[in-house]
Copies of this chain bind each other. A is one copy, B any other.
Amino acid sequence: MKIVIDAFGGDHAPLEIIKGTIEAKEYGQQLALTGSVAEIQKCARDNGLSLDGIELVEAPQIMDMHDDARLVIKQKADSSMGKGLRMVAAGEADAVVSAGPTGALLMGGTMVVKRIKGVKRPALGAVIPGLRGNFLLMDCGANVECRPEMLDQFGVLGSIYMKKLFGIDSPKVALANNGAEDSKGTELQIEAYQMMAANKHIDFTGNVEGRDIPMGDVDVVIADGFTGNMILKTIEGMGISMLSQLKGMLTKNLVSKLAAAVLKPSLREFRDKNDSAKVGGAPIIGLQKPVIKAHGSSKAEAIKNAIRQAIQWSGSGVSEAIAEAVKE
């Protein structure tokens, strides 16, 4: 199995991407970095890192935050992101990881790697650490406007992903909504509810309110891309805000610092449990091959985990199961 990694995506490229890729060698799979080979080599040399055993693939351009997403298809097909996508499409690699711009990766994923036949729209998922277990939130922003049948199908894609990658026998699927009753929400949620309730491919448990989403009692939370993005980012922001307050509390004075020292292992556990980077990146689900969007702020550990996720995904049979489920 070969995983290709975009060395020039994200805020900490290329150094942290290179580091994470080197750390991921422990998984025993072939790894390839795309980008300016000279720059990758220089960065490794400057930081005393060995690139032994990692394939370097020349891709002179970079997809920039401010670039039109469509550039990745033609004008910037030779970018580190574009090259990675094309390698996967051509069968030269099994999965691609990039911390570059989300819009470009979605566009490139859809146009270059292409959808599984029968998939209406690929969606961006995010596996989030909940209080009582990880859950998949999707769509997190690939499709800002959705039709009910898209939400219904996201339920199928998400259910298969959680089953195959997290070993959950019959994942509980719920619809993010502003109340429990089937009459809640806009027309979109009301219609999607009916379709999901009738869908035999999923274990639909009804609506889930915002308050219950972080509990992690359901395995898959379905939303349109606008709503999903608001939920995902609000969860992120609350995590940052509360950890920051906690830190302030523990460094207030000498006594609290002593208490903090005693609590250090528990605090680390707390932080780790709430750290999405430990789970991996955001999968773009519905494409023929695994495409993983790592967070723009990814450091080595997050990249390493995204690579681990790409390896698991690639060998999981998710794509085959999706193709089977949506072929009707």
Contact = CB atoms under 8 A, between A and B. Distances in A.
Interface of A: 130-131, 141, 144-145, 176, 178, 185-187, 189, 209-215, 225-227, 229-242, 244-246, 249-250, 252, 255-256, 258-260, 262-263, 266-267, 269-270, 273-274
Top 7 closest pairs, chain A to chain B, by CB: A210-B233, A238-B238, A210-B234, A178-B229, A259-B259, A211-B237, A211-B233
B235 A130 contact: no
B241 A270 contact: no
Contact of A266 (B226, B227, B256, B258): B256
A244 to B, nearest CB: 6
B185 A211 contact: no
Nearest to A181: B66
Most buried by B among A236, A240, A241: A241
Contacts of A145: 186-187
A185 B131 CA distance: 29
A110 to B, nearest CB: 18
A212 B227 CA distance: 15
Given A211-B233, A211-B234, A144 B178 contact: yes
Nearest to A144: B186
Most buried by B among A131, A214, A225, A267: A214
A241 to B, nearest CB: 4
Most buried by B among A211, A229, A240: A211
Given A238-B238, A238-B242, A263-B249, A231 B256 contact: no
Nearest to A253: B266
A244 B211 CA distance: 14
A235 B240 CA distance: 12
Given A210-B237, A211-B234, A231-B234, 7 more contacts: A145-B186, A210-B236, A211-B236, A214-B237, A238-B239, A242-B242, A252-B266
B249 A270 contact: yes
A237 to B, nearest CB: 4
Contacts of A176: 230
Contacts of A263: 249-250, 256, 259
Contacts of A238: 214, 234-235, 238-239, 242
